[in-house]
Structure 1
Amino acid sequence: MIPKEMIEKLNEHRFSALPLVEELQMKIGENVETILKVVSKRIQEARDQKKFLLITLMDKTGSIRAIDWFNAEENFSKINEGDVILVRGKMVHFEDRPQLNIGRQKDAITLLQESQYDFHRFVEISRYDLEKLYEALTNFISEIQDEDYKKLLEKIFVNDKNLVKLFVQSPAAVYVHHACVGGLLEHTVSVASSCTNCCENYKFLNKDLLITGALLHDIGKIYEYRITGKGIEVTNEGEMKGHIVLGLEIIRKYAQMTNLPHYKLLELEHIILSHHGELEWGSPVLPKTAEALVVHMLENMDAKLARFRLIGEKEIKSNSNKNWSEYDKNLGRRIWLRRWENGD
């Protein structure tokens, strides 16, 4: 089920042991060599009118500013946004943050091909066993009592091997939440599990519709994102249509193949269309059934809690000893890190 190239030989590439951004931040004063992706570049002038190249570089653990004082124009022409480079220089602390001062040698920046580095530098793999997650997904399907919904789910998640392969490896986002190989599967199973628990408390819910909607709410993301040697990228279809429309197309295709009754398809489509919850958040319609509202609220909760966890784990790794995280624009707040010993 899981593509070989996505899960094996994680450390066989020559440069796989080089430090990540989060490790560079602890190497102030040291000469370093590492592999990073170019996010942005621009030529600027210092006060003495000397030109320098300012680059923002990143990997899966964060981003860092880099300055080239020696070969600014040459390296500006050499690299483009999205390129992966081997870069050499010295770590310094400037303006209250770590900075990489690129070396003076001509090969301080070297362009790399995908075969020369481990793509896992730019994308994580789910912390959970993907085979077990897929088994959990199929268990949800086996518990569906409605034969029409079960037939639809089996056609998509069991019989279509190519779609299953895409679904198992797909991320749920480029950055915000579950941005990893298997992230979509992880998010989907988590939402379906929460929906199952919700049904225990709210007996009036149509459980089969709810679980079917939970399992399919983000399925369009299999075509919205792709994983390359440079990390997670948005596809042309993803940019032009978005995963809600792509998901609707997938469901209609398989609903026709399985003769799903129109009224059942309509309620399922409504869950897909409304799962972002608000018009300004990208849904063309507000949730107007109880099941649509539950899917929206629980998938939103799962995404936000994943973000909370990610921020907390990064702060712990940074050894910053701060009580509060930096402001997170996706959550619109700072996160309390429970370090009572550091303050009142």
Structure 2
Amino acid sequence: MKLPKELIEKFKEPFISELENYINSEVELIVKVKSKRLLENKNGQKYLLITFEDKTGILRAIDWFNAEKNDSKIDVGNVVRANGKVVLYDGRLQLNILQDSDIIVLNNNEYSYERFVAESKIPIDVIMKDLNNMIKSIKNYHLKKLLEEIFNDKELSEKFKEAPAGLKIHHNYRGGLAEHSITVAKMCDNLSKVYPWINRDLLITGALLHDIGKIYDYVINPKGIEITKSGELIGHIVKGYEIVEKKIESIGLNEELKTELLHMIISHHGELEWGSPIVPKTPEAFILHMIENLDSKLNRIQNIKEKELETNPDKEWSDFDPNLGRRFLLKHIERG
């Protein structure tokens, strides 16, 4: 993952993605413990094998000197300060923990969450400019007014710009919700030109609002992205319905349009077994489900490709992805 210059300059300790510039050098890192295993070699010497991570990648680390001591100090999920030498081992970067160095577990106030929460590659001001232009293109007065009421609401707008669209599956980074929403809206806009008989204004409105409830599903904190109690117990479909219905009351949307828009929000997962309380029963609801599902899957495929090639640039096939039920060709013919 490439980082903007201003972010690199902000932090003293390098990110994992920068370590190729530090081969055979000693570094101090602030990283999260992804996994750990206390092992023993054939000579009976114990060693600690650790996988560290930050938002730019993962890193194998090994401790030959204080294995048992450091194993007892750290847990998976801890953010730690580790000192070691960066080496190239078996074609991959590895951190060899220094002999006289303890791994230090950090408190939340001792590091910035920006190390561990990735963000959209598209600047949020660009996303919001596109979103505002999309709102301006809506011809139906009441639907346009509804979108303006929601995205001009300071609390809702700020949460929308910060929120991820998921915890693990897709767009699971800061600004991911806004990116997903505008991408779905753009795809729906293009489809409305192919099928001019559909209600474009209703489709675009549903696209921009279908996941609005996710602003209450997740919280970004020093450990990364976590699901909230509301997200766990209520979920974004119900919260989104509540947000939109409440705003509708203040603008006088007619009952027929209100019903069809709310139907799009509660049916966008497509199937009962996928979390929708009802399946899509209008053309616009059906299109929204298909398009938002496509965008989420393409985002996941893109992330799989980037992460696997970052670890091994020569890899031809991805690992099996349980969510999508297959592995993917990584060295496919790209746009030239």
Is the TM value for this pair above 0.5?
yes
Shorter-chain TM-score bucket reads 0.7 to 0.9
Measured in 2, the distance between the counterparts of 1:224 and 1:210 equals: 24
Q: Distance in 1 between matches of 2:91 and 2:322?
A: 21
Q: Deviations over 1:173-229 (max 9, x none)?
A: 233322222221111111101111111111221112111110001111111112222
Aligned counterpart, 1:169: 162
Alignment partner for residue 141 of structure 2, among 138, 142, 147?
Answer: 147
CA deviation map 1:298-341 (0-9, x unaligned): 1111122222323333344445223323333333222223368x
Q: Return the letter of the residue paired with 1:63.
A: I
In the alignment, the residues of structure 2 paired with residue 259 and residue 111 of structure 1 have an alpha-carbon distance, to the nearest angstrom, of 55
Cα root mean square deviation, aligned: 3.2
1:13-64 CA distances to partner (integer Å, 9 max, x unpaired)?
Answer: 5434x141x5558978765432211234565667777765554432223334
Pick aligned residue for 2:178 from 167, 185, 190: 185
After superposition, the Cα gap between the structure-2 partners of 1:283 and 1:99, relative to the gap in structure 1 and judged at 3 Å, is farther
* Equivalent residue runs for 1:293-332 within 5 Å: 293-318=286-311, 320-332=313-325
Paired residues of 2:309 and 2:315 also in contact (CA < 8 A): no
**Structure 2: gaps (5+ residues):** none
Q: Secondary structure at the match of 1:39?
A: strand
Structure 1 SS opposite 2:29:
strand
Q: CA, structure 1 residues 280+53, in 2 after alignment: closer, same or farther (shift >3 Å)? A: farther
Aligned equivalent of 2:265, options 269, 272, 275: 272
1:230 aligns with 223
Find 1:85's aligned residue among 76, 80, 84: 80
Relative distance call for 1:269 and 1:52 in structure 2 (3 A) is farther
Contact 1:271 1:295 in 2 (8 A): yes
**TM-score under structure 1 normalisation?**
0.82
> Closer, same or farther in 2 for the Cα pair 1:27/1:323, shift >3 Å?
farther
Q: Residues 40 and 314 from structure 1, CA distance in 2 versus in 1: closer, same or farther, beyond 3 angstroms?
A: closer
% of aligned pairs identical?
48
Kindly tell me the number of residue pairs found equivalent between the two proteins: 330
Q: When the two structures are superposed, what TM-score results if normalisation uses the length of structure 2?
A: 0.83
Tell me, in whole angstroms, the C-alpha distance in 1 between the residues paired with 2:46 and 2:311. 33
How far is 1:130 from its partner?
1.7
Aligned to 2:34: 39
1:39-118 alignment runs, 5 A limit: 39-41=34-36, 53=48, 55-90=50-85, 100-105=95-100, 107-118=101-112
Residue 234 (structure 2) aligns with:
241
